Structure 1
Amino acid sequence: MAEHSNGGRTALVIGGGLAGMLAVTALTGHVDTITVVERDRYPQGRAFRKGVPQARHLHILLSGGERALEQLLPGTVDALAEAGARSLELPRDLLTLTPTGWQRRFDECRHRTLSVTRPVLDAVVRERALRAAAGSGTRVEVLEATEAVGLTGDARRVTGVRVRSRDGARCVRDLTAGLVVDASGRGSRTPQWFAALGRTAPHEVTVDAGIAYATRMYRPRDTAAPEVGVNVPGWPACPRGAAYVPVEDGNWLLTLSGVRGHHPPTDAAEFTAFSATIGDPYVHELLGGAEPLSPVYGFRDTCNRRRHFERSGALPDGFLVLGDACCTFNPVYGQGMSVAALGALAVRGTLAGGGSTAEAQRAVARAADPAWLAAVGADRPYAGAADTGAGAGERLITWYLERLAARAAIDPVVGAVYRDVFCLTAPPARLLAPRIALRTVFLPRRPGLPAPPTAVEGAPSGP
């Protein structure tokens, strides 16, 4: 870790949201002081804030992300549960429709997924991250209502951040640090800031399915409350989808989605009508027994975007990029928060082993690989002409994954490995293990179930 001119080890984190607080946790104990630059003011209690554009929408923490978060901040999963987060065991507690039919409900007890609103998640993680830092030798200062407007230093090394107050006189000043971490999310301006330093922006890959989604909160009436969540992802023959899952306080969130030409409306009546046009009427029927509690909120910035800061020469000294600022996924797949936690855990492990920031950035990239493979594989069929083209290898992988997903819906052996990888607890190479590949390629394709399953089936003894 680079030394500050006064002899102390200092770090500065751009962004005080989830990724920023995970960065604080990763750095705690490795530096003397951490300054967090947050453009908003945190709300009182667990309330929505303007600076989190996806806050009103569905958020889940996959089992891989949950485990990483627990390693970073022990006890946080229980704290989220106490705050009302709902636990779903996959695939038992989430009815999923596939292009070939409904997925069977195997009781695997392998992948607990947390469903929670964003204000609760952010508040719990922030409280525990700052509390953990306060109990360590690292001092943390959070500068609220302060906006990062540029980097200081030169093409070789970043030495700090130029910030501007968003209150009063809006004065500009420079903050110096031995390490700067960009955790500012989808809106990261690091490529532009690199240009100002005389550096070339990192190589960027984009895959944009043109998906938009809209979300509304409901409270089911007692007699009509569903037992489990429902997931109806879209596919080329049926480009509209839905997810209906429980969150805290007995409420449920319904997210409707669609690719270009099939975007869900934000008008309340039209939103309800749209729910009848997805691949199965089940979700629409559930709404008949639920009371809407909120307006409909829309979101359209769903492009998958990966900036390859991990490549040789792409990262200046004294700089690190974490979370969506590095690798952004289509939010409809619910991977972003889990990848941020896995990335922060990778940073902490690298620094604990005496590794450099360049090594930490490579570890962040490896942590994102499985989620990137899944998101790009799902979105590539809808990608526009301006997106980064798929090579022969990626096209083959996309074909294999499509066949694998169909098999996983009915095959407990393939399904268990499929969920291990896509819940971010196993490397993608597991999908190519001989036993899995043979069952995927050579066994005949069979349909899923014709209706949402009510029966829960036991899991196999092992994949």
Structure 2
Amino acid sequence: MTEHSNGGRTAIVIGGGLAGMLAVTALLGQADTVTVIERDRYPAGHGFRKGVPQARHLHILLSGGSLALEELLPGTLAALGEAGARSLYLPRDLLTRTATGWQRRFDERRHRTLSVTRPVLDAVVRERVLRAAAASATRVEVLEATEATGLTGDASRVTGVRVRSRGGAPGARSERELVAGLVVDASGRGSRTPQWFAELGRSAPHEETVDAGIAYATRMYRPKDPATAPDAGVNVPGWPECPRGAAYVPVEDGKWLLTLSGVRGHHPPTDPAEFTAFSATIGDPYVHELLAEAEPLSPVHGFRDTCNRRRHFERPGALPAGLLVLGDAACTFNPVYGQGMSVAALGALAVRGTLANGGGQRPRSTAEAQRAVARAVEPAWLAAVGADRPYASPDDAKAGVAERLSTWYIDRLFARAAIDPVVGAAFRDVFCLTAPPTRLVAPQIFLRTVFLPRLPGLPGPPAAVEEV
């Protein structure tokens, strides 16, 4: 890690959520001290936290994210399993209804996706990060109920963070400065780094947005008879002719989460009776039928901040020395696609790789690490904006010729993937973030996608599992 005359080998991480904890892991052994600035106080056990507005909604960890998390923190997947996380192998354990019909249920055993509530995931990861820190040479301190109010330094270099305590006596809430050789912004989609750049005399980074206007609502259920509960989760994403969708997925303790979604003009309601009625209006009645055999365990919780937003900190000159931006603070995805946590893990792994490979000894190490983060983000970004572009706001950046051609190709590939094990395997490799997007245009995949006929999927949810 780059040393600074004042900050030395010290680092500050803004945000103590999942991305922040994974950033700490990336810095272990690279810094003498790491201070985490967290606005909230962590709840006891597996409680919900105000600073995670999506916590009550469906969360999945794709196989690419799972592999990255395990590399960063060995043993974490087993710990999540012990805490109740459910393993779903795609596509065997997630029945998917596409615009052309139901996807065949191939038993590939290649992509293990974890389904778990956010409080459990955060608590398990935080406990293991702090345990790893205690066993390392890096001293980690977490300042709870502390708010970052700005960056210190100038246009060329960030030298620390201004903070103040939240709550307590008024005198205890005065600002103070913490000095560091490296500051990592992992504060999530509410990051104020672009505004703080103005205070440093810098221009905000170029920002790209694609907003489909999607909103979603979630409710927790328990099957009335566990013996007759579904043996797989269900996913019915919306499509242009039916822009409403649903995902009904098991989580820990025999519970299930149902998330309903819709684009502008089709937002799901949060009234319980209307929520149930809305589930009958998506592209297939199967999920609505399953609800008749389940009892609700929670109110309906809504969420509307689903814009895809990418801040290009990786571009030349966009980032001052001494600063890194990770997770949703750099690139925010429509949460419906379940990519955010996986990308946070992949980004942290990219940072650790850059620092561990000696990049930290060169003056441009933060820029190199930010470029590595951008490379980790790229596949998920292309997938998310390609899916959302048909519904995007007119104010968003217009799709170029290359993106329009890519959208046409992906639409055809997605239809083929529902019935073709070869194309389907390639599609899942990329969607699950274990292969680059170029995998989708490999000669065999390209020929099968473009020249084989566009056939319909299955007429109903498949009960039979097909060996591959």
Q: If the length of structure 1 is used for normalisation, what is the TM-score?
A: 0.98
The SS at the match of 1:13 is strand
Partner of 1:217: 220
- The structural deviation recorded for 1:359 is 0.7
Q: Distance in 2 between matches of 1:88 and 1:59?
A: 13
Partner of 1:138: 138
After the TM superposition, which residues 267-306 of structure 1 pair with which residues of structure 2 at under 5 Å, given as runs?
267-306=271-310
Identity %: 84
After the TM superposition, which residues 370-381 of structure 1 pair with which residues of structure 2 at under 5 Å, given as runs?
370-381=379-390
Partner of 2:248: 244
Q: Distance in 2 between matches of 1:221 and 1:193?
A: 51
- The structural deviation recorded for 1:6 is 5.8
Partner of 2:457: 448
1:100 partner amino acid: T
Q: Deviations over 1:299-325 (max 9, x none)?
A: 000000000000000000000000000
Partner of 1:264: 268
Q: Distance in 2 between matches of 1:211 and 1:276?
A: 18
Partner of 1:174: 177
After the TM superposition, which residues 311-350 of structure 1 pair with which residues of structure 2 at under 5 Å, given as runs?
311-350=315-354
Q: Does 1:122 align with 2:122?
A: yes
Q: Deviations over 1:242-287 (max 9, x none)?
A: 0000000000000000000000000000000000000000000000
Q: Distance in 2 between matches of 1:5 and 1:172?
A: 23
The SS at the match of 2:52 is coil
Partner of 2:362: none
1:148 partner amino acid: A
- The structural deviation recorded for 1:2 is 2.6
The SS at the match of 1:230 is strand
Partner of 2:85: 85
Are the equivalent residues in 1 in contact too, given 2:15–2:37 (CA < 8 A)?
yes
Are the equivalent residues in 1 in contact too, given 2:12–2:160 (CA < 8 A)?
yes
The SS at the match of 2:147 is strand
Are the equivalent residues in 2 in contact too, given 1:224–1:286 (CA < 8 A)?
no
Are the equivalent residues in 1 in contact too, given 2:34–2:140 (CA < 8 A)?
yes
Q: Distance in 2 between matches of 1:427 and 1:82?
A: 31
Are the equivalent residues in 2 in contact too, given 1:218–1:292 (CA < 8 A)?
yes
Q: Distance in 2 between matches of 1:417 and 1:260?
A: 32
Are the equivalent residues in 2 in contact too, given 1:224–1:290 (CA < 8 A)?
no
Are the equivalent residues in 2 in contact too, given 1:216–1:292 (CA < 8 A)?
yes
1:117 partner amino acid: T
Q: Does 1:233 align with 2:237?
A: yes
Q: Distance in 1 between matches of 2:159 and 2:31?
A: 15
Q: Does 1:432 align with 2:441?
A: yes
The SS at the match of 1:87 is strand
1:307 partner amino acid: R
- The structural deviation recorded for 1:164 is 1.2
The SS at the match of 2:456 is coil
Query: How many residues in Structure 1 have an aligned counterpart in Structure 2?
Result: 459
More off after superposition, 163-172 vs 335-344: 163-172
Structure 1: runs of 5 or more not aligned: none
Q: Deviations over 1:128-167 (max 9, x none)?
A: 0011011000000000000001000000000000011102
Q: Distance in 2 between matches of 1:195 and 1:92?
A: 50
- The structural deviation recorded for 1:224 is 3.9
- The structural deviation recorded for 1:390 is 0.7
1:63 partner amino acid: S
Q: Distance in 2 between matches of 1:359 and 1:197?
A: 22
Q: Does 1:307 align with 2:316?
A: no
Q: Distance in 1 between matches of 2:310 and 2:437?
A: 18
Q: Does 1:36 align with 2:39?
A: no
The SS at the match of 2:48 is coil
- The structural deviation recorded for 1:221 is 1.4
Are the equivalent residues in 2 in contact too, given 1:327–1:368 (CA < 8 A)?
yes
After the TM superposition, which residues 325-404 of structure 1 pair with which residues of structure 2 at under 5 Å, given as runs?
325-355=329-359, 356-404=365-413
2:346 partner amino acid: L
The SS at the match of 2:376 is helix
Q: Distance in 2 between matches of 1:6 and 1:89?
A: 49
Q: Does 1:206 align with 2:215?
A: no
- The structural deviation recorded for 1:3 is 2.1
Partner of 1:109: 109
1:208 partner amino acid: D
Q: Distance in 1 between matches of 2:461 and 2:207?
A: 40
Q: Distance in 2 between matches of 1:130 and 1:388?
A: 41
How has the CA–CA distance of structure 1 residues 157 and 448 changed in structure 2, closer, same or farther, with 3 Å as cutoff? same
1:193 partner amino acid: W
